[in-house]
DNA sequence: GTCAGTGCAAACTTTTTGCAACTAC
DNA sequence: GTAGTTGCAAAAAGTTTGCACTGAC
């Protein structure tokens, strides 16, 4: 894991070099904070991590700058999670299957090798795939049950009226 | 197409009835505006459509309210498009494969029946699938070529130095 | 030494909220 | 009639920008 973090740091350095951008302590600190995350996060959360765990104070604008760079470098990805904008660490565009409940907004990540293989074997002209993200919309068991109960109740009410 | 619009209107009415919510002209007008869209849109765009094409003035809050309802009813879906929050019409959770260029942000929707079948045959315990959305990240041909050119140039520069 | 990058605060954009008036049921 | 909705305006949340200063190269 430390190796992976190290490699991600080098990827950032390389990206900055290639783009003729400066390798500042702030930018390295933003990446270090990202490496400490586990799951999706907001710029605000990231700033808190930098301040509390790394004792590194930065202004909000610098966090946005850093996240933008990391996005360009392919080290983080901007995502929509139950309607909210979040970022998440992404390792070599590691791909995910995400089940989202459209009722309560709960999110579960799962794996499925046949689906993964099928997606990755997809070849598109004029497009070089780097990674992917599959979001499945539906109902979790709790909400599914709750909705069924609600409908039964309403149907009964209708019946009673007649 | 008109049939489909009609069915979507009925789906909204049904959703409102089931949830004991009121079927107001504003809510119907929001759906009508959505039905006129073709591709992703913002709440602001939608409001403009309502005002210009339907001559129906609503305040912003009502647009948000309407979109939230349509989302619950499964008639629109909130998406992140090159980092920006957008909504899009969705018909019976019609599912999409979307190629996103991580460099220029361009987006292309494609179809692939094997991938679609594989995803839809996926069975998850404790989750009822209604629809899905596959986002493929990568480089479009233009950006791919541009990046190659840039790297060649830099490599050449390095070589010249030595 | 130079200029890209940063901090800070202010501006701007997008979304939500409180409240009085309205209206679908 | 009444409680859910709306309009309006103000507030909150999220993001970007201008400017002077700093520090990476």
pLDDT band with cut points at 50, 70 and 90 for residue A156: low
Q: Which of A45-49, A97-101, A144-148, B142-146 holds the top average pLDDT?
A: A45-49
pLDDT of B101:
83
B83, HSE (Cβ side, Cα atoms, 13 Å): 14
pLDDT band with cut points at 50, 70 and 90 for residue B39: confident
Judged by CB atoms closer than 8 Å, whether chains meet at A103 and B72 is answered as: yes
What Å value separates CA B85 and C1' D11? 22
User: What is the percent of chain A where pLDDT is above 90?
Assistant: 51
Output Rg (C-alpha) for chain B, integer angstroms: 21
pLDDT band with cut points at 50, 70 and 90 for residue B5: very high
Interface of A with B in 40-69 (CB under 8 A): none
Residue closest to sugar C1' of D22 by CA? A24
On whether the CB atoms of residues B77 and B90 are closer than 8 A, the answer is yes
pLDDT of A58:
94
User: What is the percent of chain B where pLDDT is above 70?
Assistant: 90
B75-127: per-residue pLDDT in tens? Answer: 998 887 766 788 999 887 678 898 988 777 778 889 999 999 999 999 888 89
A157 touches strand C (CB under 7 A): no
A65 burial level (CB within 10 Å; 0-12, 13-18, 19+): middle
A123 touches chain B (CB under 8 A): no
Judged by CB atoms closer than 8 Å, whether chains meet at B136 and A118 is answered as: no
A102 burial level (CB within 10 Å; 0-12, 13-18, 19+): buried
B71 burial level (CB within 10 Å; 0-12, 13-18, 19+): middle
CA A14 to each of CA A35, B5, B33, B41, B74: distance values in angstroms, whole numbers, following the listed order? 17, 51, 47, 37, 44
Name the residue among A131, A91, A128, A95 with its Cα closest to residue A11: A91
**Closest-CA residue of chain A to B142:** A126
Residues of A in contact with B108 (CB under 8 A): 127
On whether the CB atoms of residues A80 and B80 are closer than 8 A, the answer is yes
CA A39 to each of CA A36, A77, A162, B3, B95: distance values in angstroms, whole numbers, following the listed order? 10, 11, 52, 43, 25
pLDDT of B161:
47
Minimal C-alpha gap between B16 and chain A (Å) = 12
B124 touches strand D (CB under 7 A): no
B40-57: per-residue pLDDT in tens? Answer: 899 999 999 999 999 999
User: What is the percent of chain A where pLDDT is above 70?
Assistant: 90
Judged by CB atoms closer than 8 Å, whether chains meet at A134 and B131 is answered as: no
Minimal C-alpha gap between B56 and chain A (Å) = 27
> Is the per-residue pLDDT at B162 higher than 60?
no
Protein-proximal nucleotides of chain D (any atom < 7 Å from a CB): 4-9, 14-18, 23-25
Residues of B in contact with A154 (CB under 8 A): 18
pLDDT of A93:
65
Name the residue among A85, A128, A55, A137 with its Cα closest to residue B95: A137
pLDDT of A1:
60
Residues of B in contact with A93 (CB under 8 A): 137
Length of chain A: 162
> Is the per-residue pLDDT at A154 higher than 90?
no
pLDDT, averaged across chain B:
87
What Å value separates CA B22 and C1' C23? 10
Q: How far apart are CA A77 and CA A91, in angstroms?
A: 10
> Is the per-residue pLDDT at A159 higher than 60?
no
Which range is least confidently modeled, A76-85, B16-25, B109-118, B119-128? A76-85
pTM here is 0.81
Best probe of the B interface among A108, A132, A145, A153, by most B CBs < 10 A, is A132
What Å value separates CA B102 and C1' D15? 20
User: What is the percent of chain B where pLDDT is above 90?
Assistant: 51
B129 burial level (CB within 10 Å; 0-12, 13-18, 19+): middle
């Amino acid at each position: 894991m430390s190796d992976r973090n190290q490699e991600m740091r080098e990827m950032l350095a390389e990206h900055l070099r290639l783009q003729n951008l400066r390798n500042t302590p702030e930018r390295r600190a933003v990446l270090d904070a990202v490496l400490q995350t586990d799951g999706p996060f907001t710029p605000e959360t990231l700033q808190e991590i930098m301040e509390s765990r790394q004792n590194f104070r930065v202004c909000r604008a610098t966090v946005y700058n850093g996240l933008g760079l990391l996005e360009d470098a392919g080290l983080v990805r901007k995502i929509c999670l139950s309607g909210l904008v979040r970022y998440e660490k992404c390792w070599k565009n590691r791909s995910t299957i995400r089940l989202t409940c459209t009722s309560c907004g709960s999110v579960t990540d799962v794996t499925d090798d046949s689906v993964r293989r099928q997606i990755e074997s997809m070849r598109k002209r004029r497009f070089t795939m780097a990674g992917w993200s599959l979001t499945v919309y539906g109902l979790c068991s709790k909400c599914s049950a709750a909705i069924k109960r609600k409908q039964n109740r309403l149907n009964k009410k209708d019946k009673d009226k007649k």
